[in-house]
Chain A
Amino acid sequence: MFIEISNLKKHFGEGESRVEVLKGIDIEIEKGEICVLLGPSGSGKSTLLNIIGGIDDADDGYIAIDGEKTANMNEKGLTQYRRKHLGYVFQMYNLIPNLNIRENIEVGAYLSDHPLDTEELLHTLGLFEHRHKLPSQLSGGQQQRCSIGRAIVKNPDILLCDEPTGALDYNTSKEILKLLEDINKKYGNTIIMVTHNDAIRNMADRVVTLRDGKVRRNYKNENKLSAEELDW
Chain B
Amino acid sequence: MRNPLRKRYIRELRRDFGKYLAISLFMIMLVGLVSGYLVAADSIEKTFYEGWEKYNIEDGHITFSQTPPKEVLQEIENAANLTFYNLEYQEEDIGANGAKLRIFQTRTEVDRSCLMEGNMPAAENEIALDRMFAENNNINIGDTITLNGNVIKVTGYVALVDYNCLFEKNTDMMFNAQLFGVAEMTPEGYAAINSKLVSANYAWKYTESVSDEKDESNRSEELMKTLEKVLRSYNENLVKAEMEAAYENGLDPSTIEFNEEDLLMVESYVPKYQNKAVTFCMDDMKGDKPTFILFDYIVTVILAFVFAVNISSSIQNEAGVIGTLRASGFSRGELVRHYLFMPTLVTIIAALIGNVLGYTIFVEYMKGVFYNSFSLATYESVFNSEAFLITTVVPLVIMTAINLYMLIRKMKLSPIRFLRRDLAKKKKRRAVLLNKKMPFLTRFRLRILFQNISAYITLAFGIMFGGLIAIFGFMFGPLLVDYADLIVSEKICDYQYVLINQVETSAEGAEKYCIGSLEISLEGYLTDEISIYGIEENASYITKSIPEGKVFVSEGIMKKYGLKKGDTLTLQDSYNDKKYEFVVADSYPYSAALAIFMNRDEYNETFDKKDDYFTGYFSNKEITDIASDDIVSVITESDLTKLSDQMMQSVGSFMKLFKYFGAIMLSLLMYLMTKQVIEKNAQSIAMTKILGFKDKEIAGLYLVMTGIVVFLSILITIPVTDITLRWLFEGYLYTQMSGYLPYIVSKSCYVYTALITAVCFVLVSACMFIKIGRIRKSEALKNVE
Contacts and interface: CB of A to CB of B under 8 A. Distances in A.
B70 interface: no
Contact of B329 (A98, A103, A111, A167): A111
Contacts of B150: none
A65 to B, nearest CB: 14
24 contacts: A55-B323, A79-B331, A79-B332, A82-B326, A83-B328, A83-B330, A86-B328, A86-B329, A88-B327, A90-B419, A92-B320, A94-B321, A94-B419, A96-B8, A99-B8, A103-B7, A104-B4, A106-B1, A107-B4, A110-B2, A110-B3, A110-B4, A154-B328, A167-B783
A136 B454 CA distance: 30
Contact of A151 (B3, B328, B332): B328
A94 B5 contact: no
B1 A110 contact: yes
A164 B325 CA distance: 17
Pick from B4, B328, B785 the residue with the most CB of A within 10 Å.
B328
A167 B320 CA distance: 15
A223 B115 CA distance: 105
Given A55-B416, A56-B414, A94-B321, A82 B327 contact: yes
B328 A96 contact: no
Contacts of B318: 96
B471 to A, nearest CB: 41
B610 interface: no
Interface residues of A, number: 36
B324 interface: yes
A109 interface: yes
A88 B8 contact: no
Contacts of A53: 327
B579 interface: no
Contacts of A80: 329
B320 A98 contact: no
Interface residues of B, number: 29
Given A86-B328, A88-B327, A92-B785, 14 more contacts: A53-B327, A55-B323, A55-B414, A55-B416, A55-B419, A56-B416, A79-B331, A88-B324, A98-B11, A98-B12, A99-B4, A99-B5, A111-B329, A151-B328
A94 B317 CA distance: 11
Contacts of B694: none
Nearest to A113: B1
Contacts of B343: none
Nearest to A93: B783
Interface string A135-154: 00000000000010011001
A44 interface: no
A84 interface: yes
B60 interface: no
Interface in B145-169: none
Contacts of B415: 55
A230 B267 CA distance: 111
B328 to A, nearest CB: 6
A107 B5 CA distance: 7
- What 10 pairs across the A-B complex have the smallest Cβ distances? A83-B329, A94-B324, A55-B415, A106-B4, A94-B320, A82-B329, A98-B11, A88-B327, A92-B783, A111-B329
Interface string B641-682: 000000000000000000000000000000000000000000
Contacts of B327: 53, 55, 82, 86, 88
Contacts of A147: 324
Contact of A96 (B1, B5, B419): B5
A87 interface: yes
* Secondary structure type dominating chain B contacts: helix
Interface string A56-87: 10000000000000000000100110111011
A71 to B, nearest CB: 15
Interface in B406-425: 414-416, 419
Interface of A: 50, 53, 55-56, 76, 79-80, 82-84, 86-88, 90, 92-99, 103-104, 106-111, 115, 147, 150-151, 154, 167
Interface in B1-45: 1-5, 7-8, 11-12, 15
A99 B7 contact: yes
Nearest to B324: A94
Given A55-B419, A92-B320, A95-B321, A87 B4 contact: no
B4 A103 contact: yes
Pick from B12, B327, B783 the residue with the most CB of A within 10 Å.
B327
A98 B324 contact: no
A87 B783 contact: no
Interface in B581-631: none
Nearest to A82: B329
Pick from B5, B7, B11, B329 the residue with the most CB of A within 10 Å.
B329
B328 A82 contact: yes
A150 to B, nearest CB: 7
Contacts of A82: 326-329
Nearest to A167: B783
A109 B326 CA distance: 14
B325 A109 contact: no
Contacts of B416: 50, 55-56
A151 B332 CA distance: 19
Contacts of B783: 92-93, 167
Pick from A93, A96, A104, A109 the residue with the most CB of B within 10 Å.
A96
A97 B11 CA distance: 10
Nearest to B11: A98
Nearest to B8: A98
Pick from B330, B414, B419 the residue with the most CB of A within 10 Å.
B419
A81 to B, nearest CB: 8
B329 A79 contact: yes
Nearest to B5: A107
A151 to B, nearest CB: 7
A87 B329 CA distance: 9
B19 to A, nearest CB: 15
Contacts of A76: 331
A111 to B, nearest CB: 5
Contacts of B325: 107
A109 B5 CA distance: 12
A94 B785 CA distance: 10
A110 B334 CA distance: 12
A50 B419 CA distance: 11
A108 B328 contact: yes
Nearest to B1: A110
Contacts of B321: 94-97
B328 A88 contact: yes
B323 A94 contact: yes
Contacts of B323: 55, 94
A123 B326 CA distance: 27
Nearest to B14: A98
A90 B324 CA distance: 8
Contacts of A94: 320-321, 323-324, 419
Interface in B378-422: 414-416, 419
B4 A55 contact: no
Nearest to B3: A110
Nearest to B4: A106
Contacts of A97: 321
Pick from A86, A94, A96, A104 the residue with the most CB of B within 10 Å.
A94
Nearest to B319: A94
Contacts of A55: 323, 326-327, 414-416, 419
Contacts of A93: 783
B330 to A, nearest CB: 7
A94 B326 CA distance: 12
Contacts of B330: 79, 83, 111
Interface string B771-785: 000000000000101
